[in-house]
Structure 1
Amino acid sequence: MRSSHSFRAGLVALVAVVAASLSTAALADSGTVRISIYKAGWFVGGSGGDGTLTFHGKRYPLSIGGLSAGLVFGASKTEFVGKVRSIRDPSDIAGVYGAGGAGAAVGVGVRAIVLTNGKGAVLELTGRQIGLMANADLSGMAISLR
């Protein structure tokens, strides 16, 4: 009788642990993002901008800043739209995102990028770049909630 009670208690504890881990993964959600970034540089570049995260029907203003180093020449403005995945809370979008890339825009160009921060948030962005910009660089972008 005693071992049957212990077995049931162990089984209930195991089910509780599995349910808790599954519900944590199920809580990860996604939102939409709209970002405007201005970038300029001569070997070392800087960028800044703003945007909006829409998550569970609410809008959250974003602030963007960053640096890049490598071959950077020119100035541009990029309008990105896309999704942020694997977030549980709006603050999960905040953090530092790193990327390496190369590209050029004379007039109007198209950009697409996928970035991840330390909290596991994944940005999937596409956009239109306007300006004169040539780059083959490593860059970092910090996003914060305003």
Structure 2
Amino acid sequence: MKISSRFRAMAAAIVAVAGIGVAGTAQADSGTVRFYVYKAAFFVGGSGGEGTLTFHGRRYPISIGGISGGLAFGASKTYFQGRVRHIRGARDVAGVYGAAGGGGAVGKGAQVIIMTNGKGAQLELTGRQVGLQVNADITGLAISLK
């Protein structure tokens, strides 16, 4: 039984495309992040802070900014730490992250959040919050390298 040259070419192309996809995923890496965010809100809120990305043994200073809208009030400071996954370089961390959710803390509280930016970088963060903050809102977070 003969296999046509057209079929062999198509099979080779599929294998090549699959190999490129696997190679792209294999090159993605991860790093760690630590930052703090001050947040104040009365229905519409704002947040800002700074921290550090550690990637391949190097430290990169980062700035944090954000907005929120919905049922939110209070003021707090949250210390976050965690991993950033699916990045190829430090610049992949920069971007706008979004998440919808709710939570709250009176006094000291804990938060857990997973957010993704447009480049596919995924933040997996845990945090501890100090202050009075109650929210059921949609939050946006922007990270930039300094």
- TM-score for the superposition, normalised by structure 2: 0.88
AA matched with 1:102: G
Aligned to 1:94: 94
Aligned to 2:29: 29
- Any unmatched runs of 5+ in structure 2? 1-6
Distance 1:98 1:29 in 2: 21
> SS state of the match for residue 22, structure 1?
helix
Cα offsets for 1:30-81 (capped at 9, x unmatched): 0001010000011100000011110000001110100000111110000011
Distance 1:20 1:59 in 2: 30
- Structure 1 residue 22 displacement after superposition: 2.3
Aligned to 1:45: 45
Aligned to 1:135: 135
Sequence identity (%): 65
- Structure 1 residue 20 displacement after superposition: 3.3
Distance 1:72 1:11 in 2: 55
- Any unmatched runs of 5+ in structure 1? 1-6
Over aligned residue pairs, what C-alpha RMSD do you find? 2.2
AA matched with 1:109: G
Equivalences, count = 144
- TM-score for the superposition, normalised by structure 1: 0.88
Aligned to 1:3: none
Aligned to 2:124: 124
